[in-house]
Amino acid sequence: MRMEINTNRIINKFSIYNYIIYFLYIMSSLHSFDLHSFDPSSLHSFDILYSKEGFTFVKQSKNQYALSFHIINHAIDLSKIIDFQLIKLIYDLNGDIYEKVSLQIIDDTHATMKMLMKHLFEDLGLPQRYSHVHITKLLDDDNHKISFVSKSIYADDNTDMPEQSEQLPIQDVICECNMVTPHRMGFTFHIAFEDRMTIPSFAEKMVGLILFKIFNRVKTFIEGYGQNKTSL
């Protein structure tokens, strides 16, 4: 059965920003996605969909995308703050999207995390969504790179989530932190959708816009860390 949605009503009620969230929300409700590695140095060989203030969002191939940017802070050694708290920070700084985030650190290289999205579209009959993932921290000393690979945990013990909520069908998420110098870090976020999903060109640019909004908050926070007494 085809779902008919009044997009003008959505835009007027939630603003263009929440409309973008709505698009991603619908896509994640229908399709799981897989992540693939990406070399930031080859960024310009791909189709650039969105570029602003040092952020570049590219299309690598069909349904495969990557966002890349740099973080600079001369007050601290950035490698010292690359841990699981950094991953949680991404969600904590976006409270208009996520209602609850809980992190359980198992050891230095493993953790689990639950993230509950806000129920933005309850009146449209869409379920509230959450993620439950296992995160592995990988160190590549030769290339001065730290990666965080998240894989979904499907279990029956999510009683702390709302009764009618549903788990997002996420397969993998990869965040890569490349240490250029102790005070300059290259950050790449990888996302790919299943081959059977068709993403229109206008929607691809909206994905870039929402990722820019999310990670620009992270960049702003970290670049002010140690200079204006912010803390992780």
Tens digits of per-residue pLDDT, 172-231? 788 999 999 999 999 998 876 656 566 677 778 887 887 888 899 999 999 998 776 555
* Structural contact between residues 18 and 126, judged by C-beta atoms closer than 8 angstroms: no
**What is the rounded CA–CA span in Å between residue 99 and residue 36?**
28
98 against 34, higher pLDDT: 98
30 — pLDDT class (breaks 50, 70, 90): very low
* Structural contact between residues 110 and 137, judged by C-beta atoms closer than 8 angstroms: yes
Across the chain, what does the average pLDDT equal?
Answer: 78
Could you give all domains of the chain from N- to C-terminal order, each with its CATH number? 7-224 (3.30.530.20)
145-152/110-117 β-pairing: unpaired
191 against 26, higher pLDDT: 191
Tens digits of per-residue pLDDT, 70-79? 999 999 999 9
Residue 27 pLDDT greater than 60, yes or no: no
**What is the rounded CA–CA span in Å between residue 86 and residue 215?**
12
**What is the rounded CA–CA span in Å between residue 188 and residue 55?**
10
Q: Which of 1-5, 7-11, 75-79, 87-91 has the highest mean pLDDT?
A: 75-79
pTM listed for this prediction: 0.72
**C-alpha torsion 82→178→114→111, nearest 10:** -60
Handedness of CA 202, 203, 209, 212 (dihedral sign): negative
Residue 149 pLDDT greater than 60, yes or no: yes
